[in-house]
Amino acid sequence: MALNGGERMLVRDDMHGVSERMVSLTPAVAGLLPAETCREHSIIPVEYSDGYLTVVATSDSNFAAADAIRKETGYEPTWVIADENEINEAIDRLFSANGASDSSTGARFSAGDLVSHGLAIPPRLGEELAGRGLVTEEQLGAAVAEQDRSGGRIGEVLVHGGALEEKALLRVLAETLRLPTVDLSEFDATEAPRDIVPEPVARRLHVVPIAADSRYLFLAVPDALSEEARLEIGHYTNREVQQFLAPRNDIDELLRRIHGAAYTQTARSNLRERFPDSSAHLVLSSGQKVFLGIGALILIGFLIWKPKETLIVIFALASIFYLLTSLYKLLASFSALEHKYLLGTSPEELAAMDERTLPMYTILVPLYKEAAVIPYLVQGINSLDYPKTKLDVRLLCEEDDDETIAAILAMDLPPQFRPIVVPPSQPQTKPKACNYGLLGAKGKYVVIYDAEDRPDPSQLKKAVLMFENTDDSIVCIQSKLNFFNQETNLLTRWFSIEYAMLFDLVLPGLDARKDPIPLGGTSNHIKLDQLVEVGGWDPYNVTEDADLGVRLHQAGYRTTMMDSTTYEEANTEIGSWVRQRSRWIKGYIQTWLVYMRNPFRLVGNLGLKGFISFQLLIGGTFIFLINPFFWFLTTLFALTQAGFIQELFPGWVYYVAAALLFIGNFVFVYLAWLLPCGAVTTISLPTRCSCRSIGA
């Protein structure tokens, strides 16, 4: 197809002139090749379609010209024929009109001039792209409608929507800005001058130095630098900046390759170095080891001296603690009955939001051995009701997970999806991967989703609405979680009831009471600045979510609940359930030990009410270690009527244990009865290729 109107030229489709036709000559299309290349080979680009560039030449066997075209544009040339004099005269007219950079033309704008005149994106870029055959009229119309609704630049809307290749857009911008492009995919990161522009500045400005000499600093940039950015870079070097256009994701990836060791160190050690008392890199402090050692010796001494009396006291204390944890959950659930979410997020309120004002949102998706679910993950994220140009989706893969990385790359995803390979280092954990992915995050808000998650499509908008209409103390919003495979077997039904109790009753009750909220492992929405302020996630804690919830509360911030549900996949097998539950118990115990290194400071940070909540909710995890022993004693007594067991539960201890039995089970049944209608039900969602079991 011909591109744009204007000057036209009579050409032949072959050397013999059997078929003649007119083609349009435009500066925009001609500018796909430098003026010098066109003059050297007597050629003019005139049409583009499906990866082929139609070029007017004096011959259809000009191999040197074909090689130059492939090198400059990446397109495969097709030929039409015209007289050499006509071609050269057309080159003079076209490139003079286009302001090309050769000695025969007039003055032209620099990239900085274009930006300062508001011309970083060429006027009528959409029509230009459609005219070149890079997008269809239908795609352009849809993109214009999306631009009017959500803001953004037309080129970005087309690229993020999958209608236009990013490199094709980059070539058009390069032509307009008179800037060369650079391929960073094979760039040797060791050759980059890493000390000229500080890494935090380069990351914030989205630039990467690729070479330098005594006079020039060569920068890869996603768009022409603004005047402010050039002045900031000028603080660090007196060299003249030469800009090369490259895709934004390629720039970010090169920054990670250049600074990979430093990024890994930050992901592993940032919390440990800044807030060592909040890090689980050591499970027990030296003081705790001494305290527990002395306590163990005292306990052993009492067991030797007064074994029966000591066991009676232990069982009595365990029963009382068990009873208190059950009553606390009941109290929290009663609080949830009268609790109203901090801010309503009705469909009418969501529809009234101006999408042009929505902020950038970062989505972190930690992945490991998840190749099979990548298409469903992409489908789920694409179903979110949020402008694609304002999404920063970071797919975090471990370097040894070749299968998942290959599955992501094979999909050729639009640029809002950023595959990030996490270099190998210990500990190899989900929170360390999230810390690594957080470096360079572009969003004002951050959310974590797991690979199999199916979030409410309106969830991001609901979070923004709540953040922007509540006070600044609210820095985290937790969505509700449940399962889309509830009816698979008895285990998944139990899982669904447990999750419904936790996320529909207990956590909203904690929210109502303004007590610390241990976060769920996914769908927690956090303000980026405050997340960085408190040190991110603890890579050494296997329940980094619960730890972060406590740490945010300890820093004076609040977490609140949101009336929005993300559906996950429940474990379907006993083995994987045991591994997951073991990890959960281990992580809660880790968290309790970390914050109990200094109980008096914890009371000061959380307040007495928050401290008691922490003991009963996080410390209450110890009851899972007590349960097997109580079950064993109960079974043994039922089978043997052993008198020594009866002696361990005299009088008041027996009544406390009996109260625990009845009250604990009553709380469980009553909470299930209190669940909101529909909290545990069959969920209709798109089917999966298989129902995976989540491992440890």
273-299: pLDDT as tens digits: 999 999 999 888 888 999 999 999 999
Whether the pLDDT of residue 267 is over 60: the answer is yes
pLDDT digits (tens, 9 = 90+) for 590-640: 999 999 999 999 999 999 999 999 999 999 888 888 778 878 887 888 888
Rounded to 10°, the helix 599-617/544-554 angle is: 130
What confidence category does residue 180 fall into, taking pLDDT thresholds of 50, 70 and 90? confident
In this predicted model, what pLDDT tens digit does every residue of 82-140 receive, in sequence order?
A: 888 889 888 888 776 544 434 333 323 333 333 333 333 444 677 778 888 888 888 88
Backbone φ/ψ region at 362: left (φ over 0), alpha (ψ -120 to 50), beta = beta
Q: CA–CA distance from 127 to each of 5, 139, 358, 522, 679 (Å)?
A: 12, 11, 27, 42, 50
Structural domains in the chain, CATH included, are 7-108 (3.30.300.160), 113-177 (no CATH), 189-258 (3.30.300.160), 283-696 (3.90.550.10)
Average pLDDT, rounded, for the chain: 84
- The per-residue pLDDT for 18 is 61
CA distance 477 to 561: 6
How many other C-beta atoms lie within 10 A of the C-beta of residue 346?
11
Number of Cβ within a 10 Å radius of residue 52: 13
Each residue of 515-536: pLDDT tens digit? 999 999 899 999 999 999 999 9
pLDDT in tens, 314-336: 888 888 888 888 889 888 888 88
**Residue 77's pLDDT band (boundaries 50, 70, 90)?**
confident
The pLDDT value given to residue 236: 92
Q: For the chain, first and last CA: distance in Å?
A: 56
Q: Which residues contact 170 (CB under 8 A, 6 or more apart)?
A: 181, 245, 246, 247
Q: How is residue 127 written in tokens?
A: 């029509």
For the chain, the C-alpha Rg in angstroms (whole number) is 32
Predicted pLDDT at 679: 55
The pairing of beta strand 216-221 with beta strand 208-212: antiparallel
pLDDT digits 0-9 by tens, 348-379: 889 889 999 999 999 999 999 999 999 999 99
Q: What is the pLDDT of residue 505?
A: 85
Q: Residue 696 has what pLDDT?
A: 30
Residue 537, both tokens: 């996630």
pLDDT of residue 112: 36
423 close to 399: Cβ distance less than 8 angstroms: yes
State the pLDDT at residue 457: 95
DSSP state of 181: B
pLDDT given for residue 673 in this prediction: 67
How many helices (H) and strands (E) the chain has is answered by 29, 16
User: Per-residue pLDDT for 695 more than 60?
Assistant: no
246 closest CA partner among 255, 238, 237: 255
Contact 280, 591 (CB under 8 A): yes
* 27 has pLDDT over 80: no
